[in-house]
Amino acid sequence: MGVTHEKDIAASSNDGSQDSSSSEAATSSSHNSITEQHEADEPSKEELETLRRVGSKVPNSAWMVATFSGAERFAFYAMQSPLQNYIQNPAEDFGRPGALGMGQSAATALNSALELICYTTPVLAGVLADGRWGPYKTLVVSCW
C-alpha cells in the first residue's frame, strides 16, 4: 500500500473514479494473495497422512517440576502478609496478629529485603554453577 506504482499515478491523474477503482483492485489483489498464502500454510490431505507426528505426551517429571514450582510460589506469596503482620504489630495488641512491634516501615523494609534476597540468590548461584563450581558443588554449598 505504501509503494506507488506508475499505473496508479497515471490513473490518479486522469480522474477520481479511476483512482478509487485502482485502489479497490490493489486491495482485492493483496487480500487474495494473503488468502492464498494462508491456504498454502495449511497441509494437504496427503501431507496430513504422510507427515511424521512430533507431538508427544508431556513427561511426568515436567508436570512434577511445574507443580512444585507453583506450590513454592504459592507458599512464598502466601507468607508475605503474615510475615508483615508478625514484624509490624506488637504482641500485646489483642485482635491483631503480631509479635515484634517494629512498625510498618521496618516491616516493609525487612519484607522487601527478603524478596530481594529470594530473587537475587538464584541468579548468583546460576553464575557460580555455570562459571566456577559446576552444578553439583553449587547445590551442595547452597544447601549447607
Point out the residues of the chain with pLDDT beneath 70.
1-40
Cell 554449598 maps to which residue? 141
Q: What is the pLDDT of residue 35?
A: 58
Using alpha carbons, select from 15, 11, 40, 38 the residue that is nearest to residue 25.
Answer: 11
Q: Report yes or no on whether pTM surpasses 0.85.
A: no
Q: What is the pLDDT of residue 139?
A: 86
